[in-house]
């Protein structure tokens, strides 16, 4: 079998150029060319993982099947490739240092002085090579977080330098930079790109391919100039203009032959027609949607679109399956009260209440849920959204006016309570109920069953609190039933209100498993109900 090939994606000039989308798009093209591929993100911060980060800091925390709390770029990787990622796909500086320090404490370094070079860089190299080791992948794409020149990135760039040297033509580096347009001068400027490549060169890394992010098309002479000044072949300079959708990026790059150039450089045979037909078709659908559907998403991080990245993408995907364009209004739960709820929600065809942590904004969520329930508006509650739906039902239908989650108060009616295993936990990092668990849809006359079309499902979790089974029967008598349970622990995973048009709350996070060409069944059903 041929060696695994390694592609490093670095970024220059500024952050937010879309390295994650570039890595995902390139991997998609390589996959379409008949190769197995995975993508890895190296994050140069000291948190062990983003699980303890406020979404305002770093956007959504994406959870993998194996329960890793990871960077939101891993969500893009899965949405593009349709292949699950794992803990090994996201490594932070914190994790690298932790591994090295643990080894030092164990005496593994045999008395040597432990240093950034070689010990930290070796650990980085080990984390990269690990994905290639098992022989599962022909190609590993590694995205280096941050911007070249940042102090934090240096050990990563050094690891890339060493690996490029050791792996020879089995590795290459793609550098993504910006070519800004100065409107006063009416000119596109290549100097920042030249400087950024120079910084890479100072660290011993010669990029093999440049992708230039630009708001205006680059003519041949600009590409030629960049190639010449950066020691890159002319056919290895690509432009990346804004696409109407991120899902258009793979095709935009394919039209410029990025995949062909990459595969040639890695000496991998090129398939004549990479299989992009489904992707292209889905994109056509996306660009030609006419029908609209108005969806409200109620959450407390709505000012930052990245905080609910997987949810917003899952809604787009589900729109495709229903041939409609969801118009999402992001509503801050703290801005909802009894006096304005009607005004805010009256024109919405579906209401989704988002996951979250902590007390802030809870009452607004509960008011929104009451509105959805009483006005027969399709409702999807995810994790905290489901828990709030249970609290709302207990208070307003069962008459337990003080019902709450013990996350928020010392209530006499803890309809949502901390899980037994969580009671003794003191550390916050990586201690929730995380990752994929099976759920048995016990009730085949349910919206969940109609959506999934099967009884045994697997979904990903991230929570500490759960539905309190002491209230199960009383709640069912009043009309809220548990339609899905964990087969081993009996934890309630899905609740529904049967005499409602479509009212589903799920303890898990379906959004993590929605893909561009494989929208999630629950989101499809939610949007379908909203359209009806």
Chain residues that interact with ligand GLN, rule: CB under 6 A: 355-357, 383-384, 387, 407, 462-465
Minimum CB distance to ligand GLN, residue 407 (Å): 5
Phi, psi of 62 (to 5 degrees): -95, 135
Question: Which of 139/353 has CB closer to ligand GLN?
Answer: 353
* 140 contacts 266 by C-beta, under 8 angstroms: no
Taking the least distance from each CB to ligand GLN, the nearer of 72 and 174 is 72
Q: Considering beta carbons, is residue 21 or 384 the nearer one to ligand GLN?
A: 384
Tokens representing residue 371 in the block:
């509105």
> Cα(157)–Cα(163) distance, rounded to whole angstroms?
10
Among 119, 461, 511, 520, the one annotated catalytic: 511
Distance CA 162, CA 178 (A): 26
DSSP annotation of 379 reads E
The 3-state secondary structure of 383-395, one letter per residue: CHHHHHHHHHHHH
Query: 61, 173, 324, 383: which is the annotated catalytic residue?
Result: 383
- Min separation Cβ 255 and ligand GLN, Å: 40
- Buried/exposed 112-126: b ≥16 CB within 10 Å, e otherwise: eeeeeeebbbebbbe
Burial of 418 (0-12, 13-18, 19+ CB in 10 A): middle
- Select which of 317, 461, 509, 520 is catalytic: 509
Least Å distance, CB 146 to ligand GLN, is 27
Strands of 397-467, DSSP E: 404-405, 414-418, 433-441, 456-463, 465-467
- 520 Cβ contact partners less than 8 Å away, ≥ 6 residues apart: 314, 317, 318, 510, 511, 513, 514
Beta carbon of residue 61, minimum distance to ligand GLN (angstroms, whole number): 9
Count of helices and strands (H, E) across the chain = 18, 23
Pick 100 or 383: Cβ nearer ligand GLN: 383
Token match 């929605």: residue?
514
Residue 89 tokens, joined: 């796909």
In the complex with ligand GLN, which residue's Cβ is closer, 122 or 334? 334
Residue 10 or 405 with smaller CB distance to ligand GLN: 405
Number of residues that this document lists for the chain: 532
| Closest alpha carbon to 420 in 464, 357, 390 | 464
- Nearer of residues 256 and 406 to ligand GLN, judged by Cβ: 406
Least Å distance, CB 507 to ligand GLN, is 8
Contact in structure between 404 and 416 (CB atoms under 8 Å): yes
Provide, rounded to whole angstroms, the least separation between the CB of residue 357 and ligand GLN: 4
**Closer residue to ligand GLN (CB): 75 or 155:** 75
The minimum distance between CB 383 and ligand GLN, in angstroms, equals: 3
State the minimum distance, in angstroms, from the CB of residue 517 to ligand GLN.
26
d(CA 189, CA 209): 19
Q: What CA–CA distance (Å, rounded) separates 88 from 99?
A: 13
Could you give the angle at which helices 19-32 and 73-81 cross, rounded to 10 degrees? 20
Nearer residue to ligand GLN within complex by CB, 11 or 356: 356
Least distance from C-beta 479 to ligand GLN, angstroms? 23
How far is the C-alpha of 406 from the C-alpha of 410, rounded, in Å?
6
What's 280's DSSP letter? H
Q: Show contacts of 99-105: CB within 8 Å, 24+ apart.
A: 99/123
The answer to whether 143 and 19 are in contact (CB under 8 A) is yes
The answer to whether the CB of 24 falls within 8 A of the CB of 77 is: yes
Look up 509 and say whether it is catalytic. yes
532 is catalytic: no
DSSP state of 410: -
243 a catalytic residue: no
Question: Would you please indicate which residues are annotated as catalytic (active-site) residues?
Answer: 383, 509, 511
């Amino acid at each position: 079998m041929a060696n695994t090939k390694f592609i490093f994606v670095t970024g220059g000039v500024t952050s937010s150029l879309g390295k994650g989308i570039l890595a995902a798009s390139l991997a998609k093209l390589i996959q379409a060319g008949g190769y197995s591929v995975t993508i890895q993100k190296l994050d140069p911060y000291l948190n062990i993982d983003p699980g303890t980060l406020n979404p305002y800091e770093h956007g959504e925390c994406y959870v993998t099947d194996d329960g890793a709390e990871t960077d939101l770029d891993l969500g893009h990787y899965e949405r593009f490739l349709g292949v699950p990622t794992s803990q090994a796909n996201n490594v932070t500086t914190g994790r690298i240092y932790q591994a090295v320090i643990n080894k030092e404490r164990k005496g593994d370094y045999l008395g040597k002085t432990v240093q950034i070079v070689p010990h930290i860089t070796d650990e980085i190299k080990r984390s990269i090579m690990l994905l290639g080791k098992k022989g599962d992948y022909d190609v590993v794409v590694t995205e280096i977080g941050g911007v070249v020149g940042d102090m934090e990135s240096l050990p990563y760039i050094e690891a890339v330098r060493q690996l490029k040297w050791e792996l020879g033509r089995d590795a290459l580096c793609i550098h993504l930079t910006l070519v800004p347009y100065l409107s006063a001068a009416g000119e596109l400027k290549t100097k920042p790109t030249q400087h950024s490549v120079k910084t890479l060169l100072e660290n011993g890394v010669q990029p093999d391919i440049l992708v230039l992010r630009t708001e205006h098309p680059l003519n041949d002479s600009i590409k030629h100039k960049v190639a010449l000044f950066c020691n890159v072949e002319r056919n290895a300079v690509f432009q990346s203009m804004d696409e109407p959708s991120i899902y258009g990026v793979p095709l935009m790059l394919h039209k410029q032959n990025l995949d062909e150039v990459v595969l040639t450089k890695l000496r991998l045979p090129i398939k004549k027609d990479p299989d992009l037909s489904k992707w292209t078709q889905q994109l056509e659908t996306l660009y030609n949607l006419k029908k609209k559907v108005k969806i409200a998403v109620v959450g407390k991080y709505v000012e930052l679109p990245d905080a609910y990245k997987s949810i917003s993408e899952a809604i787009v995907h589900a729109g495709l399956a229903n041939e409609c364009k969801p118009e999402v209004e992001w509503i801050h739960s703290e801005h909802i009260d009894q006096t304005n709820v009607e005004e805010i929600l009256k024109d919405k065809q579906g209401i989704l209440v988002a996951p979250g942590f902590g007390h802030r904004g809870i009452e607004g969520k509960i008011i929104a849920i009451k509105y959805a329930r009483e006005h027969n508006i399709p409702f999807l509650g995810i994790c905290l959204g489901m828990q709030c739906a249970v609290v709302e039902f207990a208070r307003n239908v069962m008459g337990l006016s003080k019902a709450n989650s013990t996350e928020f108060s010392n209530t006499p009616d803890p309809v949502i309570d901390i899980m037994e295993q969580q009671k003794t936990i003191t550390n916050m990092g990586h201690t929730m109920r995380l990752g994929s668990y099976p759920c048995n849809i016990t009730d085949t006359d349910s919206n969940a069953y109609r959506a999934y079309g099967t009884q045994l499902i697997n979904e990903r979790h991230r929570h500490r609190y759960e539905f309190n089974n002491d209230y199960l029967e009383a709640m069912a008598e009043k009309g809220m039933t548990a339609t899905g349970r964990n087969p081993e622990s009996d934890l309630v995973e899905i609740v529904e209100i049967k005499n409602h048009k479509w009212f589903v709350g799920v303890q898990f996070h379906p959004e993590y498993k929605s893909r561009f060409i494989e929208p999630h069944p629950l989101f499809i059903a939610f949007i379908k109900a909203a359209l009806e």
